[in-house]
Amino acid sequence: MATYIVLLGPPGVGKGTQARILSETSKLAHVSSGDLFRENLKNETELGKLAKSFMDKGELVPDDVTISMIRDRISRPDCEAGAILDGFPRTPAQATALEDMLAEFGSEVNAVPYITAAESVLVERASGRWTCKAQGHIYHEKFNPPKQAGVCDIDGSEVYQREDDKVETVTKRIRVYFEQTMPLVEHYRTAGKLIEIDGTQPVEQVTKDLLAALKR
């Protein structure tokens, strides 16, 4: 049976960083809703144009388009063994849609690591984040700078600061997270799937805790 892991946590806590590492060690596909929206933005698709107006304001893209984008993505062959979902679901309606989708495949959400950190840590991380243009590799100006300033270590493309990583937008996104995504924490706790992880630790320690928790 396929394995589906939902990484839950506020903006900037380190979900993308950990999802990439877990995906490499587990061979599960990394499915990031934010990356998919940014890809659509770059390719100037209709979905990208629609998403941009919400992303720029730090608001969530409407559930219907988000759900159908994820449905398409997890139906691709590279998700046959399962996936690490990063940034989805983010609302109760998305969680229900995910459960329905996976039930169609005869699967379910297996585990939900919930990574946490204080708001000041989130703002410092997200506002110092640098993202690679070609493939979304993640850096931080202080905690994880690229070897050569402005250039991705992995694919040599330019790194840029996301429009929505300005302090004001990050603060708004954290508020949106508390209002719209927090109910999922209780939802998955009640389902016995939530695993709390201390996200304030260095990247390597967070990975160790995640791997140990997922083994159990």
Spell out, one character per residue from 95 to 124, where the chain touches ligand ADP: x when CB under 6 A holds, - when not. ------------------------------
User: DSSP for 129-169?
Assistant: EEEETTT--EEETTTB--SSTTB-TTT-PBEE--GGGSHHH
| C-beta neighbour count of 106 within 10 angstroms | 8
- In angstroms, the CA 73 to CA 58 distance is 23
User: By Cβ distance, which residue is nearest to ligand ADP?
Assistant: 34
Residues 41, 53, 114, CA angle at the centre, nearest 5°?
Answer: 80
| Catalytic position from the list 20, 90, 125, 193 | 90
- Residue 206: Cβ-neighbour burial (10 angstroms; 0-12, 13-18, 19+): buried
Closest approach of ligand ADP to the CB of residue 186, in Å: 18
Closest approach of ligand ADP to the CB of residue 208, in Å: 11
CB nearer ligand ADP, residue 1 or residue 160:
160
DSSP annotation of 106: T
Q: Which of 30, 31, 33, 79 binds ligand ADP (CB under 6 A)?
A: 33
Q: Is 15 a catalytic residue?
A: yes
| Residue 85 binds to ligand ADP (criterion: CB under 6 A) | no
Q: Which of 11, 74, 98, 123 binds ligand ADP (CB under 6 A)?
A: 11
Q: Is 133 a catalytic residue?
A: no
Closest approach of ligand ADP to the CB of residue 187, in Å: 15
Give backbone dihedrals phi and psi of 131, rounded to 5 degrees, phi first: -120, 140
Spell out, one character per residue from 148 to 187, where the chain touches ligand ADP: x when CB under 6 A holds, - when not. ----------------x--------x--------------
What three-state secondary structure class fits 54?
helix
Nearest to 96, CA basis, from 1, 174, 183, 9? 183
Point out which residues bind ligand ADP (CB under 6 A).
Answer: 9, 11-17, 33-34, 37, 54-55, 58-61, 66, 87-88, 90, 94, 125-126, 128-129, 138-140, 143-144, 164, 173, 202-203, 206
